[in-house]
Amino acid sequence: MLRLLKLCCLGALCLSLNTVYAQKKKHIRQVEKLLDESELFSQIFTGFALYDMEQDTFLVQHEADKYYTPASNTKLFTLYASLKVLGDSIPTLLYQQTDTSLIFWGTGDPSFLNADLPSDSSVVQFLQNQEKQLHFSAHNFKEQRFGDGWAWDDYNYYFQAERSPFPIYGNVIRFTHERNQPFVEVFPAYFGNKIILDPKLPNRKPIFDRDWNSNTFRCNARALGRIKYERIIPFHYSDELFVRLLSDTIKRRVSVFDEAFLVDNVQPFYSNVPADSIYQRLMQESDNFIAEQLLLVCSNRLFGVQDTERTLDYFKESLLNDLPDEAIWVDGSGLSRYNLFTPRSIAKLLVQLYEIIPETRLFNILPAGGASGTIEDWYANEEGKTPYIFAKTGTLSNKHCLSGYVLTNTGKTLVFSFMNNNYIHGSKPVKREMQSILEYIRDNF
């Protein structure tokens, strides 16, 4: 009798497991069907990967081995590399002292006097309190101001600030004009006398338009008096400009140090800006400038110089060598049209990212569906429930990607990567189609 009871229990368990397995297969087939039969996805290039970390297996792969332009999904790689190399320690400058001088150089840290990050005066006070002469060196900067594959004519827009050895004020200028006021507020104030009122500037041009290779700004005088206006424009960086801005800020003379010197007895100086506030800005606001500079900080930590290409080669060989497909990774931000990744490689990177940082901290850094960052208006959960999507967007003209984590109603955390290229009718239809599939996964997995 006991043996019969055991056999009955075993049979019931097998039947239950078979039912669960059948249900799982049914839902996987439904996701595959939604992808295969989507009228929208059939007209564009779409790749999708869904990965179960508990089972260590891909549940769904739809064109997941194909390469796509990732746009700002590239920042997931930058975040992973930064956490591995920098962790919570991002130095702002390195310095060396002689009998009469303090020579310092930047690490690439994007936080110094950056208005988009928590305010911190520690670096300013450190330099102000030095009794010795201050000399800035850019000897460690081996980079160009723009990355390979960037659009050259985006130089006038806030999202393409120039890379530099020691950023200051986020390497941008902020113009503010109140309606019917005769003046424009400029920050940093140093640039206030760089504005040329140009009544001949066409109405179609931006109200403030920077010259390509200088810090001269032309202003559309006809439009200026009529509207309230705010504009952020990158400035054209040079070492000479940096020391002028820094001298103005700390009220101390700083000179450019051009002589060769031995880099020994070097001391780092760290600001009080929390690393996670930098990572949050990187991910939630998709800050291109921070992405590029973080790679330079990594480079400086690894090699003592700021060299993006060398650093990416190192990362691809040491951190990304077990991805399913080779990463074609050329910048930190995703501005470059040369970046190419596959959905299944991004999914595996997200698994590695999940393994090196606690979930609570990771999800606090990433945008949350319906709650924060670049997906604040999308992928909202049912009212009163916590977000079910924590993911990074990536958008360029005719390209939109979303990769991250989906929390299901059964308590599972699944990894996904959605990559869409070459649509022609805007990103909203693409987002609606993705949202429909991700909601199905939330409700049925």
Q: What contacts 359, CB < 8 A, 6 or more positions away?
A: 413
Q: pLDDT digit of tens for each residue in the chain (445 aa)?
A: 666 655 555 555 555 556 767 898 999 999 999 999 999 999 999 999 999 999 999 999 999 999 999 999 999 999 999 999 999 989 999 999 999 999 999 999 999 999 999 999 999 999 999 999 999 999 999 999 999 999 999 999 999 999 999 999 999 999 998 887 777 899 999 999 888 887 777 766 667 889 999 999 988 767 666 678 899 999 999 999 999 999 999 999 999 998 766 667 899 999 999 999 999 999 999 999 999 999 999 999 999 999 999 999 999 999 999 999 999 999 999 999 999 999 999 999 999 999 999 999 999 999 999 999 999 999 999 988 999 999 999 999 999 999 999 999 999 999 999 999 999 999 999 999 999 999 999 999 9
**170 occurs within a structural domain:** yes
**360 occurs within a structural domain:** yes
**Which of the listed residues 264, 284, 304 is the one where a domain comes to its end?**
284
**13 occurs within a structural domain:** no
Same domain for 242 and 313, yes or no, is: no
pLDDT attached to residue 9: 56
Same domain for 440 and 429, yes or no, is: yes
**19 occurs within a structural domain:** no
Same domain for 279 and 294, yes or no, is: no
**24 occurs within a structural domain:** no
Q: In what order do the strands lie in the sheet with 57-62?
A: 57-62, 45-52, 413-421, 399-407, 389-396
Same domain for 102 and 41, yes or no, is: no
Strand-pair category, 254-256 with 133-136: parallel
Same domain for 279 and 379, yes or no, is: no
Same domain for 250 and 292, yes or no, is: no
DSSP alpha helices (H): ranges in 285-418? 288-303, 308-318, 343-356, 359-365
Same domain for 399 and 372, yes or no, is: yes
SS3 content of the chain, % helix, strand, coil (to 5): 40, 20, 40
CATH number at residue 324: 3.40.710.10
Same domain for 370 and 440, yes or no, is: yes
**Which of the listed residues 267, 284, 301 is the one where a domain comes to its end?**
284
Same domain for 280 and 312, yes or no, is: no
pLDDT attached to residue 264: 72
pLDDT attached to residue 219: 84
Same domain for 344 and 211, yes or no, is: no
**Which of the listed residues 253, 284, 315 is the one where a domain comes to its end?**
284
**Number of compact structural domains in the chain:** 2
Same domain for 368 and 405, yes or no, is: yes
> What Cα–Cα distance (Å) separates residue 39 from each residue in 34, 45, 64, 429, 436?
10, 12, 19, 11, 14
Q: What contacts 321, CB < 8 A, 6 or more positions away?
A: none
* pTM of this structure: 0.93
> What Cα–Cα distance (Å) separates residue 139 from each residue in 105, 108, 302?
8, 12, 16
Same domain for 45 and 126, yes or no, is: no
DSSP alpha helices (H): ranges in 386-427? none
pLDDT attached to residue 229: 84
Check if the beta carbon of residue 275 is closer than 8 Å to that of residue 89. Answer: yes
Range of the domain at 265: 84-284
Closest CA to 171 of 151, 185, 157: 157
Task: Go through the chain and tell me how many residues it has.
Answer: 445
pLDDT attached to residue 6: 56
**26 occurs within a structural domain:** no
> What Cα–Cα distance (Å) separates residue 194 from each residue in 189, 217, 221, 249, 301?
10, 6, 15, 18, 36
> What Cα–Cα distance (Å) separates residue 415 from each residue in 47, 224, 335, 341, 445?
14, 48, 24, 16, 12
